[in-house]
Amino acid sequence: MTDQTTPQDPRSQQPGEEAQSPEQIPHPGLTEQMEHQPDHGESTYTGADRLAGKRALITGADSGIGRAVALAFAREGADVVLSYLPEEEEDARETARLVEEAGRRAVHAPGDIREEQVCIDLVETTVRELGGIDVLVNNAAYQMAQEDGLLGITTEQLDRVFKTNLYALFWITKAAVPHMQPGSSIISTSSIQAAQPSPQLLDYATTKAGILNFTRGLAQQLGEKGIRVNAVCPGPIWTPLIPATMDPEKVDQFGADTPLGRAGQPAELAPAYVFLASQESSYVSGDYIAVTGGKPL
């Protein structure tokens, strides 16, 4: 990715499908397993103290969008608690290195958020280690494409998708709200799938639509407390989740059907989260930012 100040053609600003591997990698997928690794903003994101002194909890923080958000938050002045699956420790260590390189604290918090107590412990760890919580980013998600659509979704898969994407969202947010002060921000990762569901991702798309309604409803409830609630809706973004959960042929064409003709990179998502976490978005609540390469929601 080029520097942030030079005008660029968005079609070619980032690599296109030639920078994607058609090979599958085992779930949950590690960054180093990818032939073409995502851009998280390592060499491009420049902070401006927009989150100075903030204390953030980010789920799914080991790689992909979560890593890009953690990096950006740190370079904007925030300390970060990193939530991730224990088997993603290798990726989480790299994310922590980037946060610490920016001069901020990175607290490791491995655990499976399908368990309610793990979700409660995440918030308690954040409050204990950082002294409070100002920003919650509900980003962790699970998907597994099924070419047979509904008929291919087992109860086991449905349970995993809903517990990771929705149950944990409720549990973590419920635990965090009592610790949040006016000016705090809750940001959840929805998806273009909330409005344009793919038949192969029916269970995943259902949860992403639920996240949007959760955002809109909770924003009305928490407005009187001065807590803002918003969402980011990514389109096709190149992360380890893609080659770990999709058919190799679809991976090869991932993002090619967008108006910009390519998949997005995690680095292109991070500024949306920074905006929603900062005072610059002080009158934005119950809404979402779509980062979809031109695909309408």
Dist CA 224 CA 159 (whole Å): 34
Which two tokens mark 23?
A: 């090979």
204 an active-site residue? yes
CB atoms within 10 A of CB 158: 14
Q: Which of 45, 84, 142, 204 is catalytic?
A: 204
**Alpha-helical regions (H) of the chain:** 64-75, 89-101, 116-130, 155-162, 168-176, 202-222, 241-245, 248-252, 270-277
Supply the pLDDT for residue 1.
Answer: 41
Residue type, 14: Q
Supply the pLDDT for residue 256.
Answer: 76
**Which of 218, 233, 234 shows the shortest CA–CA distance to 285?**
218
Q: What does the longest C-alpha to C-alpha distance in the chain come to? A: 49
CB atoms within 10 A of CB 83: 30
- In order along its 297 residues, the chain shows pLDDT tens digits of 445 566 777 777 666 544 445 555 455 555 555 456 677 878 889 999 999 999 999 999 999 999 999 999 999 999 999 999 999 999 999 999 999 999 999 999 999 999 999 999 999 999 999 999 999 999 999 999 999 999 999 999 999 999 999 999 999 999 999 999 999 999 999 999 999 999 999 999 999 999 999 999 999 999 999 999 999 999 988 876 566 655 666 666 676 789 988 888 999 999 999 999 999 999 999 999 999 999 998
**176, 133 in Cβ contact below 8 A?**
yes
Supply the pLDDT for residue 55.
Answer: 98
**Which of 170, 169, 181 shows the shortest CA–CA distance to 132?**
181
Supply the pLDDT for residue 41.
Answer: 78
Dist CA 28 CA 242 (whole Å): 10
Sheet with 79-84, edge to edge strand ranges: 106-110, 79-84, 55-59, 135-138, 185-189, 228-234, 287-291
Residue type, 23: E
Task: Give the global pTM.
Answer: 0.87
Dist CA 39 CA 58 (whole Å): 18
Classify the C-alpha dihedral 253-256-262-263 as positive or negative. Answer: negative
Residue type, 50: R
C-alpha distances in Å from residue 29, one per residue of 23, 102, 179:
12, 26, 33
Supply the pLDDT for residue 126.
Answer: 98
Query: SS3 for 61?
Result: coil
Which two tokens mark 248?
A: 């190799």
Dist CA 292 CA 195 (whole Å): 12
Residue 149 — left, alpha, or beta (φ > 0 → left; ψ -120 to 50 → alpha)? left
Dist CA 35 CA 15 (whole Å): 13
Supply the pLDDT for residue 201.
Answer: 96
Cis, bond preceding 234 (omega within 30 deg of 0): no
Domains (range + CATH), the chain: 48-291 (3.40.50.720)
**Which of 74, 7, 84, 69 shows the shortest CA–CA distance to 47?**
74
